[in-house]
Amino acid sequence: MAPIPDVQVLLGVSGGIAAYKAADLVRRLRERGCAVRVVMTAVATAFVSPLTFQALSGHPVRTGLLDPAAEAGMGHIELARWADLVLMAPATADLIARLAAGLADDLPTTLVLATSAPLYLAPAMNQQMWRHPATQENLARLRGRGVRILGPAQGSQACGDLGPGRMLEPMQIVEALLADRSAAGAEAGTDPRSAPGPGPLAGVRALVTAGPTREPLDPVRYLGNRSSGRMGYAVAAALAGLGAVVTLVSGPTALPTPAGVARIDVETAAEMHTAVLGHVGAADLFVAAAAVADYRPAAPVAYKIKKTDTQLIVHLVRNPDILAAVAALPDPPFTVGFAAETERVEEQARTKLLAKGLCMIAANQVGAEQGGFERDENALIVLWADGRRDFPMMPKTRLAGELAQLIAERYVASP
């Protein structure tokens, strides 16, 4: 990615083990031509010395709100005005909670209230803390204010747990952040540091699902499907490009989080159901692009099933219907479904549209020589109550952009 010079990044470092990654983050930002100044919470200094950040950034590091030398010139206001963007990395659960509450009890939180620059958070915490309803509610509140959430990633954690909550790697943060700034500048036709243009979905809160689900049979095996998640991720990116505040609920994929999109990782259909219903209340628009398993093993076992019998009978039970549950809410968002069919594509999609009470449905054929799962291209038939539009075979990124434009048209025209 080409450098974007002269972007002034105010980096806030809060107290977690991922603070060590922030040192490399400073270096990576400066490699891309950014000017960086660092502020730290008191707890963060227990993990990494301020001297480290001073050496890497080339500027003194601020660690306290009441610094007599700096505050003689109202230093925190000067920093707040200096920044083109503010990045909190790592953003701990505590910092996220204080930002959501609008507190100004230390230097980083005070700067957030004192600046008009866009705010980005790179969360880092234990997987259970990330999943806690209080954390998710705080994130939803911040997204509603236009805060961009970068990550987190999923994997092994310092505490020994496995799951979502790892801070993105420094290069992932830099590329997501600068791509977002570059896209904003390109859309506005101005300097990349300019604020994003309004777009037809400016301020619209969009919830998108993508990828497959995995239903465990034993600790080694699972039932799944061939979805790569490419289409759903491309739709999430395209909606964000139109100005929407996007939250992506993703099944297991190897895809990077689209720039400026908040991502929640799940594995099973039940987990996706819980995540969607926990966030859809704050959504204006819901796009169900995930390939959710219709069934799951009734009784997954805790040990690896051995190859002892010539047959293995697995009893399956129905998974919750996420799309139907959202559409049936008393005050549902504008709801867009997907239908992946192997035959009678339009007929079966129209039946699904009417039976579930959807606003729109995007249908495609799978299992053919072109398009569908695990391919870079696709074609869609998009239906709504009194209309349709056909999109021929094309790359999924382009197709997602055209679909997002159509969704925006129909959303704006809806009652």
Task: Using DSSP, state whether 277 is helix, strand or coil.
Answer: helix
DSSP codes, 243-262: T-EEEEEE-S--PPPPTT-E
Four-CA torsion 243, 244, 245, 248, nearest 10 degrees: -130
Question: Which of 159, 301, 355, 368 does the annotation list as catalytic?
Answer: 159
Q: Strands of 360-365's sheet, edge to edge?
A: 262-265, 245-250, 205-210, 285-288, 334-341, 360-365, 377-384, 387-395
Question: Could you tell me which of 386, 249, 234, 222 has the C-alpha nearest to residue 305?
Answer: 222
How far is Cα 144 from Cα 142, in angstroms, rounded to an integer?
Answer: 5
240, 258 contact by CB (below 8 A): yes
Q: Measuring CA to CA, which residue among 149, 141, 83, 75 is closest to residue 117?
A: 83
Question: CB neighbours of 158 closer than 8 A, spacing ≥ 6?
Answer: 17
Strands 245-250 and 205-210: parallel
268: left (phi over 0), alpha (psi -120 to 50) or beta: beta
What letter represents residue 109's amino acid?
T
159 annotated active-site = yes
- Give ∠ CA 261-266-268 in degrees, rounded to 5: 145
Gyration radius of the chain over CA positions: 23
Q: Among all residues, which ones are annotated catalytic?
A: 159
